[in-house]
Amino acid sequence: MRLQYDLGNGQRMRIIFVFVIVAAAASLGCWSFGGAAGNRAVAAGPTPMKQDQTPKGDFVKHLPAGFEMPEDDSGKLLLREYGSVFITSATPPKKVVFKNQADVLGFQATLDKATQTIGGTKVELQRPAMDALNDAIAEARKVNLTIGPRGADSSRRDYDATVGLWASRVDPGFAHWVAAGKVSAAEAKRIKALTPYEQVPEILKLEQQQIWFAKTLDKSIIYSVAPPGTSQHLSMLALDVKEFENANVRAILARHGWFQTVSSDLPHFTYLGVSEAELPGLGLKKVENAGRVFWVPDM
């Protein structure tokens, strides 16, 4: 259970309990973005806050021009869970899932980027995201706080990095479910022969029948690894923050346009580049999980 990372024992037991309930009750909840195994702290699904009275904008209306609206269930699910990044004031991608390494590198090549060493670790972000991060770091320093990356893969990632992790869940998952008679050997072989891009909707479809592909085989693969091509880190608009447990750090980041937008992924911050007051008007809604505020698509 990845929840053991960064959490105290009491909180861990509480969250595991909630997690089991959520896993049993829902066929699919939220998930965290990929990274090296063990480089994340995740928690159970979100709890909607009391009804927000702020006038809401239309999330879909604020998607970038030329956005490829997903037509299938898998794509719609991914948009609902990861989609806040698309309203960023920096440069959002135009699609929910990048197809392959060339697709990701092609997008990254178009960006105005900045590279900087923070706390001894190289950080690569879109330039407006880096500028805002530096402003947040400066504000934090005034109150003797630091803000930095958790590890080497905390900012920019490429597609290939996520493919091996994905296979490390899919392959043992099929071995189990074929042996259990839930999936035919032919069907497993067919799906495994697809590209990772093509596998994502197939795996999510099997999970709708409780055929789970997380490492523990009792919940969605998306609690365990990021579907290839879906991470906000690919867009250079995300940072996994070392000091994510500090509420003051989270508040400072929010004042500089960095928000939490993936409710299961506690260290993960997304550069949206607008003030918190503007978020409802852009179609995001506030949810609370593990004592944090997350801004997610209202759809």
Residue 174 binds to Zn ion (criterion: CB under 5 A): no
Question: Of the listed pieces 52-60, 118-126, 201-209, 234-242, which binds Zn ion according to CB under 5 A?
Answer: 234-242
Q: How many residues bind Zn ion, per CB under 5 A?
A: 4
Provide the terminal-to-terminal Cα distance of the chain, rounded to the nearest Å. 30
| Token pair of 93 as six digits | 């991608």
Scanning residues 17 to 36, which ones bind Zn ion (CB under 5 A)? 33
Q: Which stretch binds Zn ion (CB under 5 A): 16-24, 106-114, 251-259, 268-276?
A: 268-276
- To Zn ion, the closest distance from the beta carbon of 226 in angstroms equals 9
Residue 268 as a binder of Zn ion (CB under 5 A): the answer is: yes
Nearest residue to 79 (alpha-carbon basis) of 92, 187, 138, 259: 92
Rounded to whole angstroms, the Cα distance separating 217 from 103 reads 31
* Minimum distance of Zn ion from residue 263's CB (angstroms): 13
Of 32, 100, 58, 78, which is closest to residue 244 (Cα–Cα)? Answer: 32
State which residue, 170 or 238, has the beta carbon closest to Zn ion.
238
269 touches Zn ion by CB under 5 A: no
Give the max Cα distance, the chain.
61
Stretch that binds Zn ion, among 47-55, 83-91, 230-238, 274-282 (CB under 5 A): 230-238
Specify the residue for token string 């759809």.
299
95 binds Zn ion (CB under 5 A): no
Contact between 157 and Zn ion per CB under 5 A:
no
> 183 or 239: whose CB is closer to Zn ion?
239
**Three-state DSSP class for 114?**
strand
User: If DSSP codes are grouped into helix, strand and coil, which group holds residue 180?
Assistant: coil
Using CB under 5 A, pick the residue from 81, 124, 207, 240 that binds Zn ion. Answer: 240
2 binds Zn ion (CB under 5 A): no
Q: State which of positions 29-68 bind Zn ion (CB under 5 A).
A: 33
Q: Does 166 bind Zn ion (CB under 5 A)?
A: no
Structure tokens, 77: 């699910």
SS3 assignment, position 145: coil
The 292-297 sheet, strands edge to edge = 47-48, 284-289, 292-297
What is the token pair recorded at 91? Answer: 């440069």
Binding region for Zn ion (CB under 5 A): 33, 238, 240, 268
